[in-house]
C-alpha cells in the first residue's frame, strides 16, 4: 500500500482530478472499469507525478494507505451506487469514500447513513470548475464527518483553487450531504447568472442595437468593474467568436434551445420543499425549458406584439449603462435567494453551514467565481446572523442606487416585447420584500371564503373564520 489517495472513474473529470493530486506530490492509485483508460492516463501523464495503475477493485483497494481515501468520479445516480456496492465490501472501518460527482444531496444522505453504519466515512463532495478546474484547482465543497475532513481536508486544500488572498477554496461545509447541497445551490445560482447575462445580451442586441462584437466589448468593460466574473469573461469570448464555416457570429449559428443536466432544476425543486422563494433561479430553469419547446414556440410565432426597434445611437450607450445596473441588481437578488436556500437547508438538516465560508470558497475555481463573492463573504463575516443579503448595508445601498435604472430596463423590455424573466422576477422579489402590505391578505380572504382555511387579524391574536355562506359574522377558529 503506497498511494495516499485513489481515484476510480477516469473520464475527463476523474482523470484531471487524479492528475491534480499527482501534480501536488501525492501518490495516486487510479482505476477505471475499462483498463484502457487507466493505461492511457499513465502513459500520457505518468511523468506529472506518481500513479499506481490498478486493474481490479481489489488491486485498487490494496494500493491505498490506511485509512484509505478513495474518490469516486462516475456519473451521478445508479452508477455511483454500483461502484459503492462493488467497493464497500473491500473496505475497512475508518476508510473514507469520497463521491466527487454532482450527486443529488438526498442520495448522499442515504449513502452516508448506510456506510456510517458499517464504520466507513462517506464524503459527498461538490466540485466546481469544469475540466480545467479539476486539473488546475477547483472549488471543492466537502460534506461528511469532521473526522473525515481531518484526514482529507489538507489534501483538498492543496489541490483546490486559491483565492486572491491565498485562502484555499475548500472548507468542511458540514455533515453528511451539506457539500452536495451547497454545490446544488451553486449550480442554481450559476443558471441564474447565465440567464441574467443572456437577458442583458438580448437587450443590448435588440434594444440598444449592438452587434455581438460590440456586446463582447461592452462585457469586457463590465468585467473590469463590479461585475468582474468568470461568466462575464467567457460570455465576451463566446460573443466575439466568429463561425469559421459561415463567417457569421458564432452566437447566430447555434440553435437557441438551452439544455440542462438537472442540478438547477433540483435547486428549485428543493427550494419549493423548503419554502424558499428562489424566483430568479426558477425563472432561469424555466427559460431553458421554454426555449426547448419548439412546438409551442412555432404555434405562438404569429401572436401579436411588438418586435424590438433599436434605439437611436445617441441613446444606446445610456441604455447599456442601465442594463448594467439591472444586471447587477438582479445578480444581488439571485445570490440573496441562493444564500437564503443554503441557510434554510442548513437549518432543516442541522448542518450549521457558515455562509461566509461558502462565499469565500466560491471566490476562485468555480463557475460562478467573481469579485462580488468577496463582498458577500465580508457581509456574512461581519454579521454571521445576517438574515438576508439585502439587509447588508452596502448591498442595500447599491441595489437602492440601481433600482431606477432596473425599473426602466424592465419597463422598456416589456414595451419592446423582449422577454426578461430573470430581471423582472428579481425586481418583483425586491418590491415584494420591501412592500408595506402585500395582497397576500386578499389571498387569505379567498382561502377562507372557499375552504374555511382561516386567517389571522392585524389587530389581535388568534385564528379566525368568517361565515361567508351565512351572516358573515366572524368566528374564532380552533
Binding segment (CB under 6 A) for ligand 6PG, from list 70-78, 216-224, 260-268, 401-409? 260-268
Q: Burial, 403: exposed, middle or buried (Cβ in 10 Å; 0-12, 13-18, 19+)? A: middle
Calculate the alpha carbon distances from 290 to 258, 293, 331, 395 in Å.
9, 5, 21, 32
Is the peptide bond preceding residue 72 cis, with omega within 30 degrees of 0? no
Number of residues that make up the chain: 478
Task: Return the number of the residue (187 or 325) whose C-beta is nearest ligand 6PG.
Answer: 187
Burial 361-398 (b: 16+ CB within 10 A, else e): bbbbbbbbbbebbbbbbebbeeeeebeebbebeebeeb
Residue number with the shortest CB distance to ligand 6PG? 128
| Site residue total, ligand 6PG (CB under 6 A) | 13
DSSP label at 88?
G
Q: Which cell numbers in the block locate residue 45?
A: 501523464
Of 190, 199, 283, 412, the active-site residue reads 190
Q: Is 20 in the site for ligand 6PG (CB under 6 A)?
A: no
Q: Is 150 a catalytic residue?
A: no
Q: How far apart are CA 199 and CA 284, in angstroms?
A: 10
Among 35, 145, 242, 260, binds ligand 6PG (CB under 6 A): 260
Asked if 97 contacts 84 with a C-beta cutoff of 8 angstroms, the reply is yes
Neighbours of 441 (CB within 10 A): 11
Shortest spacing between CB 361 and ligand 6PG, in angstroms: 12
Shortest spacing between CB 123 and ligand 6PG, in angstroms: 18
Shortest spacing between CB 13 and ligand 6PG, in angstroms: 9
Asked if 323 contacts 204 with a C-beta cutoff of 8 angstroms, the reply is yes
Q: Is 182 in the site for ligand 6PG (CB under 6 A)?
A: no
Q: Is 158 a catalytic residue?
A: no
Shortest spacing between CB 128 and ligand 6PG, in angstroms: 3
Among 129, 144, 277, 345, binds ligand 6PG (CB under 6 A): 129
Task: Return the number of the residue (106 or 394) whose C-beta is nearest ligand 6PG.
Answer: 106
Q: Is 102 in the site for ligand 6PG (CB under 6 A)?
A: yes
Q: Is 257 in the site for ligand 6PG (CB under 6 A)?
A: no
Shortest spacing between CB 447 and ligand 6PG, in angstroms: 36
Q: Is 16 in the site for ligand 6PG (CB under 6 A)?
A: no
Neighbours of 415 (CB within 10 A): 11
Q: How far apart are CA 187 and CA 247, in angstroms?
A: 33
Q: Is 130 in the site for ligand 6PG (CB under 6 A)?
A: yes
Of 112, 183, 324, 331, the active-site residue reads 183
Binding segment (CB under 6 A) for ligand 6PG, from list 123-131, 154-162, 408-416, 468-476? 123-131
Segment 358 to 397, residues that bind ligand 6PG, using CB under 6 A: 366-367
Binding mask 190-219 for ligand 6PG (x = CB under 6 A): x-----------------------------
Calculate the alpha carbon distances from 63 to 28, 420, 443 in Å.
9, 54, 63
Calculate the alpha carbon distances from 282 to 100, 183, 202, 324 in Å.
25, 16, 19, 22
Asked if 38 contacts 54 with a C-beta cutoff of 8 angstroms, the reply is yes
Task: Return the number of the residue (128 or 167) whose C-beta is nearest ligand 6PG.
Answer: 128
Interface residue list for ligand 6PG (CB under 6 A) = 102, 128-130, 187, 190, 259-261, 263-264, 366-367
Query: What is the set of active-site residues?
Result: 183, 190
Amino acid at each position: 500500500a503506497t498511494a495516499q489517495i485513489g481515484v476510480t472513474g477516469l473520464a475527463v473529470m476523474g482523470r484531471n482530478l487524479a492528475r491534480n493530486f499527482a501534480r501536488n506530490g501525492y501518490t495516486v492509485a487510479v482505476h477505471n472499469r475499462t483498463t484502457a483508460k487507466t493505461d492511457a492516463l499513465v502513459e500520457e501523464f505518468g511523468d506529472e507525478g506518481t500513479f499506481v495503475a490498478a486493474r481490479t477493485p481489489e488491486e485498487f483497494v490494496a494500493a491505498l494507505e490506511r485509512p484509505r481515501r478513495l474518490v469516486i468520479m462516475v456519473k451521478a445516480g445508479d452508477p455511483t451506487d454500483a461502484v459503492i456496492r462493488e467497493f464497500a465490501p473491500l473496505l475497512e472501518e475508518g476508510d473514507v469514500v469520497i463521491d466527487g460527482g454532482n450527486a443529488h444531496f438526498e442520495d448522499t444522505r442515504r449513502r452516508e447513513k448506510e456506510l456510517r453504519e458499517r464504520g466507513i466515512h462517506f464524503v459527498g463532495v461538490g466540485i466546481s470548475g469544469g475540466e480545467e478546474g479539476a486539473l488546475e484547482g477547483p472549488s471543492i465543497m466537502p460534506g461528511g464527518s469532521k473526522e473525515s475532513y481531518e484526514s482529507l481536508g489538507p489534501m483538498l486544500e492543496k489541490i483546490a483553487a486559491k483565492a486572491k488572498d491565498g485562502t484555499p477554496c475548500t472548507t468542511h461545509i458540514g455533515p453528511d450531504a451539506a457539500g452536495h447541497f451547497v454545490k446544488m445551490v451553486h449550480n442554481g445560482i450559476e443558471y441564474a447568472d447565465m440567464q441574467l447575462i443572456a437577458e442583458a445580451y438580448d437587450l443590448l442586441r435588440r434594444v440598444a442595437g449592438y452587434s455581438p462584437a460590440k456586446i463582447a466589448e461592452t462585457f469586457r468593460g463590465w468585467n473590469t468593474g463590479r461585475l468582474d466574473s468568470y461568466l462575464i469573461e467567457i460570455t465576451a469570448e463566446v460573443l466575439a467568436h466568429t463561425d469559421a464555416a459561415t463567417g457569421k457570429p458564432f452566437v447566430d449559428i447555434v440553435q437557441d434551445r438551452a439544455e440542462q443536466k438537472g442540478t438547477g432544476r433540483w435547486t428549485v425543486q428543493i427550494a419549493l420543499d423548503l419554502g424558499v422563494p428562489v424566483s430568479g433561479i426558477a425563472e432561469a430553469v424555466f427559460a431553458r425549458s421554454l426555449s426547448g419547446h419548439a412546438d409551442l414556440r412555432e404555434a405562438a410565432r404569429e401572436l401579436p406584439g411588438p418586435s424590438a426597434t433599436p434605439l437611436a445611437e445617441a441613446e444606446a450607450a445610456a441604455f447599456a449603462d442601465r442594463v448594467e445596473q439591472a444586471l447587477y441588481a438582479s445578480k444581488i437578488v439571485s445570490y440573496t435567494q441562493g444564500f437564503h436556500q443554503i441557510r434554510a437547508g442548513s437549518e432543516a438538516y442541522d448542518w450549521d453551514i457558515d455562509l461566509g465560508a461558502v462565499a469565500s470558497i466560491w471566490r476562485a475555481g468555480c463557475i460562478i467565481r467573481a469579485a462580488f463573492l468577496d463582498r458577500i463573504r465580508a457581509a456574512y463575516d461581519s454579521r454571521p446572523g445576517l438574515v438576508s443579503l439585502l439587509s447588508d448595508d452596502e448591498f442595500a445601498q447599491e441595489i437602492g442606487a440601481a433600482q431606477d435604472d432596473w425599473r426602466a430596463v424592465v419597463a422598456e423590455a416589456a414595451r419592446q416585447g423582449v422577454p426578461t424573466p430573470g430581471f423582472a422576477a428579481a425586481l418583483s422579489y425586491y418590491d415584494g420584500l420591501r412592500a408595506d402590505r402585500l395582497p397576500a391578505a386578499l389571498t387569505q380572504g379567498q382561502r377562507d371564503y372557499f375552504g374555511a382555511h382561516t386567517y389571522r387579524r392585524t389587530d389581535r391574536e388568534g385564528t379566525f373564520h368568517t361565515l361567508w355562506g351565512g351572516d358573515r359574522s366572524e368566528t374564532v377558529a380552533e
